[in-house]
Chains A and B, each alone.
Chain A
Amino acid sequence: GENVEQHPSTLSVQEGDSAVIKCTYSDSASNYFPWYKQELGKRPQLIIDIRSNVGEKKDQRIAVTLNKTAKHFSLHITETQPEDSAVYFCAASIGSSNTGKLIFGQGTTLQVKP
């Protein structure tokens, strides 16, 4: 079946450094790629998304890049802060379905050390 692979599973950085999380997907028809942040004990929240007609998108300190040829996309967080510590999930839409179904990666636990 279709899947999304996410790496690394854990990431520890010093405050102020950059963090990069990478995902690969298998379904060549995927065209929507959201990223979610889940703080401890809370619900996942959408932080940024990208569609297949765009190669890069930025929102303040976060950016997402998409390489459709290679079927991978990445989340970049610059100038990390302790409040960025959370679990991050990537996701990809599944095929030609019109139901908005997403497959999620396994998650990356990001720790930002003060």
Chain B
Amino acid sequence: DVKVTQSSRYLVKRTGEKVFLECVQDMDHENMFWYRQDPGLGLRLIYFSYDVKMKEKGDIPEGYSVSREKKERFSLILESASTNQTSMYLCASSLEFNYGYTFGSGTRLTVV
């Protein structure tokens, strides 16, 4: 059973802080994704990676960056947290093109 683990379930950070959200998958999946989930807006893609050290912007990359130094780990970085980045962040991985995602449990981030 594929596991996608997000390091924190809840986080509270202050405006201007640099925030790191970590995601680890244990099934050698090529593709990893970061989405944010907001009520009424569904899941919106922030960044994704299809290989180590490779990354591509999604639909809402502003204010975020990512890092994928190892295949199993994909980190989302909020360079300077702002209140409009308060949201649920979901990490996902997939084996290859046109395969379903496995999601992590999510990190609920509150920026105050």
Interface residues of A (CB under 8 A from B): 1, 4, 6, 9, 31-32, 34, 36, 42-46, 49, 51, 89, 93, 97-107
Contact = CB atoms under 8 A, between A and B. Distances in A.
Contacts of B48: 99, 101
B103 interface: yes
Given A106-B40, A106-B42, A100 B97 contact: yes
A104 B43 contact: yes
Contacts of B99: 100
Contacts, number: 63
B97 A1 contact: no
Interface in B29-52: 31, 33, 35, 40-45, 48, 50
8 nearest A-B pairs in the assembled complex, by CB-CB distance:
A46-B100, A32-B98, A104-B43, A106-B42, A99-B50, A43-B103, A100-B97, A104-B42
Contacts of B44: 104
Interface residues of B, number: 27
Contact of A43 (B41, B42, B106): B106
17 contacts: A34-B101, A36-B101, A42-B105, A43-B103, A43-B105, A97-B97, A99-B97, A100-B31, A100-B94, A101-B33, A101-B45, A101-B48, A101-B58, A102-B45, A104-B43, A105-B42, A107-B40
Contacts of A43: 90, 103-106
Given A42-B105, A89-B42, A101-B45, 10 more contacts: A43-B104, A43-B106, A44-B101, A46-B100, A99-B48, A99-B50, A100-B50, A100-B99, A102-B101, A106-B41
Contacts of A45: 103
A9 B94 contact: no
Contacts of B50: 98-100
